Structure 1
Amino acid sequence: MSQTANFQRSTWSSRWAFILVTIGSAVGLGNIWKFPYMAGSQGGSAFVLVYLVCVLLIGLPLLMAEIMIGRRGRGNPVSAMLKVAEEGGRCSGWGLVGWVGIVGALLILSFYSVVAGWIVDYLFKALSGLRLENAEAAANRFKALLADPLQMMLCHTLFLALTVGVVARGVIAGIEVANRIMMPGLFLILALLTVWGGIAGDMPAAWDFMFAFKPEAITPAVILAAVGHAFFSLSLGMGAIMAYGSYLDRQSSIAGTSLWVALAGTLVGVLAGLAIFSLTFAYGLEPAAGPGLILQALPLAFSHMPGGQWFGVFFFLLVLFAAWTSAISLLEPFVAWLTERMRLRRPVAAWGTGLAVWWLGIGVCLSFNRWSGHTLFGLNLFELLDFMTSRIMMPLSGLAIAIFVGWIMTRAQVLDEMQLSGLPFKAWYLVLRYLAPLGILLVFAHALGWLAWLGWLA
């Protein structure tokens, strides 16, 4: 245990425990759900290639920076930013960056829990033998779920209760134990599904689609999409990584642990893509079908393939594990703030925060049906929360972190915490100061449509 401001803080039981929980934060719906359909809609192998480069040049340096702030500040994102800033004689206003991350994480959790509830619903349906005869039946099945507010609320409630229950148990007994169980299980299921896809699907076609080099498909739009996904798929800009980093001991290498997290997150996305696309091509489905590939096209394939029911059960269990571990990391930053700053008992902080998130999630459920006519700027509540967080709050938070570590923290602070020297440190520092902010700014401008307005993108 370590002591900060008379508050007893936990530390992860080992470096590998930290790696597992951080992988759990990074590996979410973005890796298993979004990566395959983005690859399918952005040119397949072209997107995958650029994405891998972006993870190395932008995602990994930012991941290291967030962990470093958390470990040096030894507190929730707000207090960690404040402590590191004040230690270097900088403005205390940098604590606002922590607040942007924490609030953004809670807003994301409110609709993330609803989407994860869809997975819960499909998992139960797969267990009961869901069978879809054609594409129209698959589409109608999903439309029926969106039109049923009570079913969506029930699944949203169940998923959020599972998430809060883990966080309420504490850092070691709750978060670490849950990830020690779920993350090995996730990789085991993913490996099983990939092998199964190779047997029942068209793995050569999936491999060619994802890895055959097609330079003509690399366009400015594909590059920006890859940069954006590299940023979001590592759970950056939400305070989660910073909060987890605050429980990391001084002996662990930030660079080494960050590399493991980036590699694991990328591996999950690649294996999920191979498993999904092997079935996509074998059953004549559209690889660029978007989110419907997961909740419409694949359930249709499961209905017609040998052993499809159990493939579906394992697949939706895999996605549920990924969503669950990420949701835990979204809730933890604010719960940490409440326990450290307000001195609330962890169960009270977790369930109280969960209740507030639950209420907002109820509004998200209704935005697909009874409240669908109520919009702001043409966006329903689900779309509005997604726009605010993914296109504004997360990029701004990530940009601020890159600037803070690269330009505001003293070089002595950074050197002391990173424990790097020579060329590796210079390369990381250079990328963090120049390339990462530029990449985030371009993603931010592209997400808001400014690049198209300026005529920079076709």
Structure 2
Amino acid sequence: MQVSTSHEKWSSRLTFIMAAVGSSVGLGNVWKFPYEAGVSGGGAFVLIYIACILVVGLPILIAELTLGKQGQMSPPNTMRTLAQREGRSSLWQSVGWLGVLAAFMILSFYSVIGGWALAYVPKFISGDLITTNPDVVTTEFNTLLASPVQMLAWHGLFMVLTIFVVARGIHAGIEKAVDILMPALFFILLALVIYAAIAGDFGRAWSFLFAADFSKITPDVVLNALGQAFFSISVGLGAMMTYGAYLPKDVKIPRAATIIVFADTMVALLAGLAIFPIVFANGLDPASGPGLVFVTLPLAFAGVPLGGFFGTMFFVLIVFAAITSSISLLEPVVSWAEEHKGVKRSLSAIVAGFLIWLLGLLSVFSFNLWGDVHLLEMFERFETATLFDLMDFTTSNIFLPLGGMAMVIFASWIMSRETTETDLGLSPALYKSWLFLARFVAPIALLMIFAYNIFG
């Protein structure tokens, strides 16, 4: 097939930044970051996380965006083109394919969780979840998970929304979606923080998140902060490379990347300040992991004034965050298909989205019909792992660290210094700092994450 290098470009730097922030902001910002911070030393963890963002996350993000901007195509074709330009092996194309495969697999189970959030919006509106009885809320969640029909329907609706946005293209689809969803997301989040400050125990929540307890800092905590910093900004899976391919030539990547990581971190911190005052005001457990969103928080909102209204807003917030992330996961697949003659964007979005929905059935059935299926039960570490668990482990612990490591190595070691120095537009001192972090610190950090996840 002939390959077309013609893609729409972002209308403005602001639109690109909102789309990129939307890609990085997701369910992990809403519960995982605050939860990790709370159980891992509070402010000490936050300081370590910010340091990891600056010395690991930001250099990798700059590297991935630079690859996209230089290649101007989907991840596989970008890596093939840049490798040819530098006189390197065409095997570098496999890095792009690894990212596309990771995005494909992640979206298959991410959309299932997004479907849970969608399901909770009408449940809050109807009042089914406005109760302080933990048995009722737990039963409601367990009933959802036990019903393959409900799970399939909500998983399908979430994928339909994602496909609809991506199929319409960059300007009519993704840009219009983020122009609406991202301001709405920030508005709802700020409103929830203000509400939590009034109706909840804001002082205790502030201490929970920001009071540094360095006695809790262990090597495992540092590695968790490092992993959170890497995964939080959606690098290593080709989404940022694809978004970078749509950048106009005059956009300076380092400044845009800095804004992206700052906004992503602020959303995580604000989410904690929106959640934990309500949780503490009701005497609930803030360290309840995934159950924090779907079990603990409904109980918390039911125990405060106007809890039904603000609980509904909270789950609308989660849906918005999930959608902006999911469109960035589908885009690398569609971008590749769009580059091949005869494959229209709308058709490729529908076909790819349908295949992702089908793959998502493995995750749906992992919570009910196939809950007892453990393919790797012969290994102690995976003896209770479901198909959902295995896909999550494979993508998060293998594909993403390896993909991120390969991308940052290519950008800093393989691409010519003249190319990256000119494209980044940094001062000599700042460029040397980025080069050192990208060449040495980031790969070593990703190797540590990979080793810790596999052998830890």
Which residue number corresponds to residue 157 of structure 1? 156
Q: Within 5 Å, which residues of 2 pair with 1:161-176?
A: 161-176=160-175
C-alpha contact (below 8 Å) 1:10/1:247 kept by paired residues: yes
Which residue number corresponds to residue 113 of structure 1? 111
C-alpha contact (below 8 Å) 2:63/2:408 kept by paired residues: yes
Which residue number corresponds to residue 70 of structure 1? 68
C-alpha contact (below 8 Å) 2:57/2:229 kept by paired residues: yes
Q: Percent identity?
A: 47
Q: Which of 415, 421, 444 is equivalent to 2:421?
A: 415
In structure 2, how many angstroms separate the alpha carbons of the residues matched to 1:41 and 1:214?
A: 10
Q: Within 5 Å, which residues of 2 pair with 1:228-243?
A: 228-243=227-242
Which residue number corresponds to residue 56 of structure 2? 58
In structure 1, how many angstroms separate the alpha carbons of the residues matched to 2:19 and 2:339?
A: 21
The alpha-carbon deviation at position 332 of structure 1 amounts to 0.2
In structure 2, how many angstroms separate the alpha carbons of the residues matched to 1:389 and 1:157?
A: 22
Q: Within 5 Å, which residues of 2 pair with 1:262-341?
A: 262-341=261-340
Q: Which of 402, 405, 415 is equivalent to 2:411?
A: 405
C-alpha contact (below 8 Å) 1:399/1:440 kept by paired residues: yes
Which residue number corresponds to residue 455 of structure 1? none
C-alpha contact (below 8 Å) 1:36/1:272 kept by paired residues: yes
Which residue number corresponds to residue 197 of structure 1? 196
Which residue number corresponds to residue 79 of structure 1? 77
C-alpha contact (below 8 Å) 1:164/1:350 kept by paired residues: yes
Q: Within 5 Å, which residues of 2 pair with 1:241-260?
A: 241-260=240-259
Q: Which of 89, 92, 95 is equivalent to 2:93?
A: 95
In structure 2, how many angstroms separate the alpha carbons of the residues matched to 1:231 and 1:213?
A: 22
Q: Within 5 Å, which residues of 2 pair with 1:24-43?
A: 24-43=22-41
In structure 1, how many angstroms separate the alpha carbons of the residues matched to 2:163 and 2:41?
A: 39
Output one character per residue of 1:128-186: Cα deviation in whole Å (capped at 9) or x when no partner.
11223322332222111111111111110001100000000001110111001100000
In structure 2, give the amino acid aligned to 1:34.
K
Output one character per residue of 1:275-296: Cα deviation in whole Å (capped at 9) or x when no partner.
1111121111112111111111
Q: Which of 399, 402, 412 is equivalent to 1:396?
A: 402
In structure 2, give the amino acid aligned to 1:92.
S
Secondary structure at the aligned position of 2:6 is classed as strand
C-alpha contact (below 8 Å) 2:41/2:214 kept by paired residues: no
Secondary structure at the aligned position of 1:43 is classed as coil
Secondary structure at the aligned position of 1:90 is classed as coil
Task: Say how many residue pairs are matched.
Answer: 447
Secondary structure at the aligned position of 1:372 is classed as coil
Query: After the TM superposition, which of the residue ranges 406-415 and 393-402 deviates more from structure 2?
Result: 406-415
C-alpha contact (below 8 Å) 1:107/1:385 kept by paired residues: yes
The alpha-carbon deviation at position 405 of structure 1 amounts to 1.2
The TM-score, its normalising length taken from structure 2, stands at 0.96
In structure 2, how many angstroms separate the alpha carbons of the residues matched to 1:231 and 1:412?
A: 27
C-alpha contact (below 8 Å) 2:10/2:16 kept by paired residues: yes
In structure 2, how many angstroms separate the alpha carbons of the residues matched to 1:5 and 1:412?
A: 27
The alpha-carbon deviation at position 342 of structure 1 amounts to 4.8
Which residue number corresponds to residue 367 of structure 2? 368
Which residue number corresponds to residue 214 of structure 1? 213
In structure 2, how many angstroms separate the alpha carbons of the residues matched to 1:40 and 1:287?
A: 8
Which residue number corresponds to residue 433 of structure 1? 439
Which residue number corresponds to residue 443 of structure 1? 449
In structure 2, give the amino acid aligned to 1:445.
A
In structure 1, how many angstroms separate the alpha carbons of the residues matched to 2:375 and 2:340?
A: 35
Secondary structure at the aligned position of 1:417 is classed as helix
Which residue number corresponds to residue 379 of structure 2? none
In structure 2, how many angstroms separate the alpha carbons of the residues matched to 1:225 and 1:190?
A: 25
Which residue number corresponds to residue 125 of structure 2? 127
Query: After the TM superposition, which of the residue ranges 320-329 and 439-448 deviates more from structure 2?
Result: 439-448
Secondary structure at the aligned position of 2:371 is classed as coil
In structure 2, how many angstroms separate the alpha carbons of the residues matched to 1:440 and 1:331?
A: 24
Which residue number corresponds to residue 177 of structure 1? 176
Following TM superposition, the consecutive aligned residue runs of length 4 or more in structure 1 with deviations greater than 3 angstroms are 4-7
- Residues 42/298 of structure 1: CA separation in 2 closer, same or farther (3 Å cut): same
In structure 1, how many angstroms separate the alpha carbons of the residues matched to 2:97 and 2:438?
A: 22
In structure 2, give the amino acid aligned to 1:334.
V
In structure 2, how many angstroms separate the alpha carbons of the residues matched to 1:421 and 1:89?
A: 28
Which residue number corresponds to residue 456 of structure 1? none
C-alpha contact (below 8 Å) 1:40/1:289 kept by paired residues: no
The alpha-carbon deviation at position 5 of structure 1 amounts to 6.0
In structure 1, how many angstroms separate the alpha carbons of the residues matched to 2:417 and 2:111?
A: 40
In the alignment, structure 1 residue 349 sits paired with structure 2 residue 348 = yes
Q: Which of 15, 18, 21 is equivalent to 2:16?
A: 18
The alpha-carbon deviation at position 408 of structure 1 amounts to 1.4
The alpha-carbon deviation at position 362 of structure 1 amounts to 1.8
C-alpha contact (below 8 Å) 2:41/2:215 kept by paired residues: no
In structure 1, how many angstroms separate the alpha carbons of the residues matched to 2:149 and 2:4?
A: 45
In structure 1, how many angstroms separate the alpha carbons of the residues matched to 2:58 and 2:279?
A: 31
The alpha-carbon deviation at position 263 of structure 1 amounts to 0.5
The alpha-carbon deviation at position 43 of structure 1 amounts to 2.9
- Residues 6/117 of structure 1: CA separation in 2 closer, same or farther (3 Å cut): closer
In structure 2, how many angstroms separate the alpha carbons of the residues matched to 1:48 and 1:113?
A: 29
C-alpha contact (below 8 Å) 1:50/1:226 kept by paired residues: yes
Output one character per residue of 1:184-205: Cα deviation in whole Å (capped at 9) or x when no partner.
0000000000000000001111
The alpha-carbon deviation at position 45 of structure 1 amounts to 2.2
Secondary structure at the aligned position of 1:264 is classed as helix
The alpha-carbon deviation at position 36 of structure 1 amounts to 2.0
In structure 1, how many angstroms separate the alpha carbons of the residues matched to 2:447 and 2:140?
A: 40
In structure 2, how many angstroms separate the alpha carbons of the residues matched to 1:19 and 1:364?
A: 31
Structure 1 residue ranges without an equivalent (≥5)? 453-458
In structure 1, how many angstroms separate the alpha carbons of the residues matched to 2:390 and 2:210?
A: 35
Output one character per residue of 1:279-317: Cα deviation in whole Å (capped at 9) or x when no partner.
121111112111111111110011121000011011001
- Residues 153/420 of structure 1: CA separation in 2 closer, same or farther (3 Å cut): same
In structure 1, how many angstroms separate the alpha carbons of the residues matched to 2:26 and 2:70?
A: 26
